[in-house]
């Protein structure tokens, strides 16, 4: 029961994070808010797993957390390089 | 008896985690520039997520689910600071300047009026 209440609270916070995702002035704000949305979805999955007593939902939470991390790291790398085909050799400025 | 103690401890941890995450998300909404928002959402929100998952592991009556939730808490605790460092480094390398000098938070309802 308390796990379901926790899931509802996380859902409310996820709605507040969507406001920042919509209104963020810079690209980096949006990347941060998007990763926050994905990790809050993982928390909702974990809360449903603890409420229903099913271990598969925890695996879904694992997938969301790891996938969100990898996706956000790749997106930040694209922001830094400015292209999808960054040169493999390291330049003078690193 | 043990079940009751675990429920009480888990409920307290879940409520504490929700309060920490509410503070972090309000900071993400209200803070003035990217670096302060990053500070709010990664410090308060990350700690709140770990506390929340530990509370879930305490209230879930199943040993398998509880062990997996403990591993998930360790994963979240490891990924949060790494992501914070990556985001701050990418924003700094992209030339996003932090807000410097005096800042007064805008009153609700007073639109577009910045001090200094």
| Tens digit of each residue's pLDDT (9 = 90 or more) over B35-90 | 989 998 888 988 999 999 999 999 988 888 999 999 999 999 999 899 999 999 98
Strands, E assignment, chain B: none
Q: In the predicted model, what is the mean pLDDT of chain B? A: 86
pLDDT by residue (tens digit) across B95-106? 888 877 777 766
Residue B77, pLDDT score: 92
Does A25 fall in a domain? yes
Going by C-alpha positions, the residue among B1, B5, B23, B6 that lies closest to residue B69 is B6
Per-residue confidence (pLDDT) for residue A86, from 0 to 100 = 67
What ipTM score was computed for the predicted complex, to two decimals? 0.84
Task: Tell me, yes or no, whether A87 lies in a domain.
Answer: no
Domain span at residue A53 reads 2-81
Count how many domains chain A has. Answer: 1
CA closest to B58 among chain A residues: A50
Q: Do B7 and A33 touch (CB under 8 A)?
A: no
Q: What is the pLDDT of residues A8-49, one digit of tens each?
A: 999 999 999 999 998 878 888 999 999 999 999 999 999 999
- Model confidence pLDDT, tens digit, residues B2-35: 888 888 999 999 999 999 999 999 999 988 888 9
Ramachandran angles phi, psi of B111, nearest 5°: -90, 130
Is A66 within a domain? yes
Residue B72 near residue A65, CB atoms below 8 Å:
yes
pLDDT of residue A43: 93
Which chain A residues have a beta carbon less than 8 Å from that of B72?
42, 46, 58, 61-62, 65
Report pLDDT for A45: 92
Q: Using the beta-carbon criterion (under 8 Å), do A6 and B72 form an inter-chain contact?
A: no
Tokens of B74: 């360790």
Whether residue B81 contacts residue A66, with contact meaning beta carbons closer than 8 Å, is answered with no
First to last CA, chain B: 61
* pLDDT for B115: 44
Q: Does residue A75 belong to the interface with chain B, where contact is any CB pair within 8 Å?
A: no
Task: Output A17 or A54, whichever has higher pLDDT.
Answer: A17
- pLDDT of A39 reads 92
With 70 as the cut, is the pLDDT of residue B113 above it? no
Are the C-beta atoms of residues B50 and B76 closer than 8 Å to each other? yes
Identify whether A90 is part of a domain: no
pTM of the model: 0.85
| Minimum-distance CB partner of A9 among B18, B34, B37 | B18
Chain B contact for A18 (CB, 8 A cutoff): no
A2 contacts in B (CB within 8 Å)?
Answer: 7, 10-11, 14, 59
């Amino acid at each position: 029961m308390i796990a379901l209440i926790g899931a509802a609270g996380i859902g409310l916070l996820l709605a507040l994070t969507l406001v920042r995702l919509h209104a963020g002035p810079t690209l980096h704000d949006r990347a941060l808010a998007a990763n926050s949305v994905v990790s809050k979805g993982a928390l909702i999955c974990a809360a449903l797993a603890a409420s229903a007593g099913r271990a598969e939902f925890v695996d879904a939470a694992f997938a969301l957390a790891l996938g969100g991390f990898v996706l956000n790291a790749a997106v930040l790398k694209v922001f830094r390089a400015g292209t999808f085909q960054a040169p493999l050799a390291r330049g003078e400025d690193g | 008896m043990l079940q009751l103690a675990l429920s009480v401890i888990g409920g307290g941890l879940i409520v504490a985690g929700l309060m920490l995450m509410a503070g972090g998300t309000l900071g993400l909404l209200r803070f003035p520039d990217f670096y302060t928002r990053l500070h709010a959402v990664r410090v308060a929100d990350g700690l709140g997520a770990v506390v929340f998952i530990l509370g879930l592991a305490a209230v879930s009556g199943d040993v398998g689910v509880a062990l997996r939730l403990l591993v998930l808490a360790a994963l979240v605790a490891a990924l949060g600071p790494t992501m914070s460092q990556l985001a701050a480094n990418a924003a700094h390398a992209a030339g996003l300047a932090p807000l410097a000098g005096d800042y007064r938070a805008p009153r609700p309802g007073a639109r577009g009026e910045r001090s200094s």
